Amino acid sequence: MKKISNNPAKKYAASLMTSDVPVVSKDNAIGYVEEHLLKNIKRLKSVNYIYVLGKENILEGVISIKELFRQPKAKKISSVMNKNLKVAYAHTDQEKVAYLALKNNIKSVPIVDQDGKFLGAVLNDDIMNIVYNELEEDVAHFAGVGHHAHKIDDINSMSLATSLKHRLPWLIVGILGGLVAAQVIGLFERTLSENIILAAFMPLIVYIASAVSTQISFFVVRDLAISKKINLVFYSLRQFNVVLFMSAIISILIFIISLLFYNELLIAAVLSISIFLTILSSIITGLFIPFIFNFLRFDPANASGPIGTIIQDLISVSIYLLVAGTLL
């Protein structure tokens, strides 16, 4: 038999089953089984099913208590028992035991060894407890308070020093990034001085891309918290499709609005193209940065915001000024 794990967090059929259930020989008559059942009723924990054994305690069939009392007393139990057995093994995980019971609409699950020898049964009450506990765990997981592969900061129990240690370094990195962004803007001083209106739209360009990036990262951080496993390729494609349509719609609106307000085709083109590209670029900071930090076992909630924001701002400013420098 496969060795049963000592992991206390994981329960197996062997730890849940009981042997205090009706067990009879396949050669017994129905009348004898009824008498045997009534004689031993006080020590039995369940009489929902009577388990029928052959040689060497091999489980060969089962019959429900309701079906038993419908049969003629002279009949052998082997002629009326159900031979289509649904069994689990001692090392079967408790969730699989519960699933087997629910799937086949049975009140208890017989447990056998690798040779088919009857060991006991997991009863209805235990099955219901498994289902309840698993449901409670899943609800907690969907609320984002379940167990995770890495430690997530709990602000209620964490000391001030630990909170600062986990959060402040990312903000300092963000400040350094802001200084780099200032240098990038300085490289395009001539373009900005010749088209001063471009400076007025820089906050809009930075804001909209950062907002989309933040929106994506919130989804990612939440989904990482509630999902046991995420298919990165499929998830990325779904996010990309949404962002692509959003960037197209917003850039068209910006083009129309800026053209109506300023009556400058090139300015409208610069703004719409820049917004389209910067929103698309938010996939990088909003989607992949949280995944990277999660992979590195950092709490994405701490790191993704400051790092993602400054990287996105750098990308947005660079795209905007490069588009402006090319078209104007």
* Tens-digit pLDDT profile for residues 229-253: 677 788 888 888 999 999 999 999 9
Nearest to 23 by CA among 110, 104, 98: 110
Q: Which long-range contacts (CB under 8 A, 24 or more apart) does 138-146 make?
A: 141/226, 141/228, 142/226, 143/226, 144/222, 144/225, 144/226, 146/225, 146/226
Q: Which residues contact 77 (CB under 8 A, 6 or more apart)?
A: 24, 26, 28, 29, 30, 33, 50, 52, 61, 63, 68
Residue positions counted in the chain: 328
Sign of the Cα pseudo-torsion (61, 63, 69, 70, in order): negative
pLDDT band at 141 (very low <50, low <70, confident <90, very high): very low
Place of tokens 């001692």: 90
d(CA 37, CA 32): 8
How distant, in Å, are the alpha carbons of 24, 49, 196, 270, 320 from that of 323? 84, 76, 15, 6, 5
Whether the CB-CB separation of 184 and 314 falls below 8 Å is answered with yes
d(CA 261, CA 144): 46
* pTM, to two decimals: 0.47
User: If residue 64 lies in a helix (H) or strand (E), which one and from where to where?
Assistant: strand 59-64
d(CA 199, CA 110): 75
The DSSP letter of residue 287 is I
Q: pLDDT digits over 74-118, tens only?
A: 999 999 999 999 999 999 988 889 889 988 989 999 999 999 999
Domains within the chain, CATH numbers bracketed: 13-142 (3.10.580.10), 160-327 (1.10.357.20)
What average pLDDT does range 44-63 have in this prediction? 93
The residues facing 50 across adjacent strands are: 63
Nearest to 40 by CA among 26, 54, 60, 20: 20
d(CA 87, CA 62): 11
Q: What is the identity of the amino acid at 263? A: N
Helix or strand or coil: residue 272? Answer: helix
For residue 326, is pLDDT > 80?
Answer: yes
Q: Which of 101-105, 138-142, 154-158, 298-302 has the highest mean pLDDT?
A: 101-105
For residue 152, is pLDDT > 70?
Answer: no
Q: How many CA atoms lie within 13 A of 212 on its CB side?
A: 27
- Tokens (6 digits) for 147: 């167990």
d(CA 13, CA 113): 11
pLDDT band at 202 (very low <50, low <70, confident <90, very high): confident
- Per-residue model confidence (pLDDT) at position 74: 92
Q: pLDDT digits over 6-41, tens only?
A: 444 457 898 999 999 999 999 999 999 999 898 998
- Per-residue model confidence (pLDDT) at position 296: 73
- Per-residue model confidence (pLDDT) at position 170: 64
For residue 300, is pLDDT > 60?
Answer: no
pLDDT band at 49 (very low <50, low <70, confident <90, very high): very high
How distant, in Å, are the alpha carbons of 25, 109, 172, 301 from that of 167? 68, 50, 9, 9
Angle between helices 300-327 and 160-187 (to 10 degrees): 10
Percent of the chain at pLDDT > 90 equals 33
Q: pLDDT digits over 172-200, tens only?
A: 776 776 677 677 777 767 766 766 777 77
Task: Please state the φ and ψ torsions of residue 20, each to the nearest 5 degrees.
Answer: -85, 65
- Per-residue model confidence (pLDDT) at position 203: 84
